Structure 1
Amino acid sequence: MSDRNLDPHQARQRPPTTYEDLLGDAIERAYGAGIHDLPGLVQSLNDSGLSSPDGSPWTEANYRAAMAALAA
């Protein structure tokens, strides 16, 4: 049996950037606070002070675009 299937980062091509770490932390805090809907998540990101990748406030559209870009 291969240990490869047990590595949670097996698909990672590179270490996350500082921004990606901060974004992940902000998303985890939102989920931890019981926020599970996109409008609430977007509001929580805006309330956190972490702007979208282009520096603008988060919207549902740019959140979807940012997640798609990170998944690519």
Structure 2
Amino acid sequence: MTPYLEIHQSRHREPTAYEFKLAHTLEEIFTHVGHELADVIEGLNARQVHAPDGKPWTEQSFRDEMHRLGA
């Protein structure tokens, strides 16, 4: 039997504008800056893409948000 993969099968809803912006910015950081957590935090803060509470990202706030988003 061939496995069936439905596109976006893990989504429960469409991503929000915030989630799209975060994803796009993360792709840019991974492409041009690096993959280390410190690089990601620095890249997000340099681009002023703030944490959900409006504050600059920390390693802990990023981990918490990725956990909340299910990433």
TM-score for both structures, normalised by structure 1: 0.88
27-36 or 13-22: bigger deviation: 27-36
Identity of aligned pairs, percent?
A: 36
Q: By how many angstroms is 1:6 displaced?
A: 5.2
Q: By how many angstroms is 1:10 displaced?
A: 1.1
SS at 1:42 equivalent: helix
**1:33-53 superposed Cα distances (whole Å, 9 cap, x missing partner):** 141100010000001111101
| AA partner of residue 12 (structure 1) | R
Report how many aligned residue pairs link the two structures.
70
| Higher RCO (C-alpha under 8 Å, 6+ residues apart) | 1
How far apart in 2 are the matches of 1:41 and 1:59?
A: 10
TM-score for both structures, normalised by structure 2: 0.90
Looking at secondary structure, tell me which structure has more helix per residue.
Answer: 1
Listed as ranges, the gaps of 5+ residues in structure 1 are: none
Q: By how many angstroms is 1:16 displaced?
A: 0.1
Alignment of 1:28-67 (within 5 A): 28-67=27-66
The answer (yes or no) to whether the contact 2:44–2:50 under 8 Å persists in 1 is yes
Listed as ranges, the gaps of 5+ residues in structure 2 are: none
SS at 2:64 equivalent: helix
| AA partner of residue 5 (structure 1) | L
Alignment of 1:21-32 (within 5 A): 21-32=20-31
After superposing on structure 2, the runs of 4+ consecutive aligned residues of structure 1 that deviate more than 4 Å are none
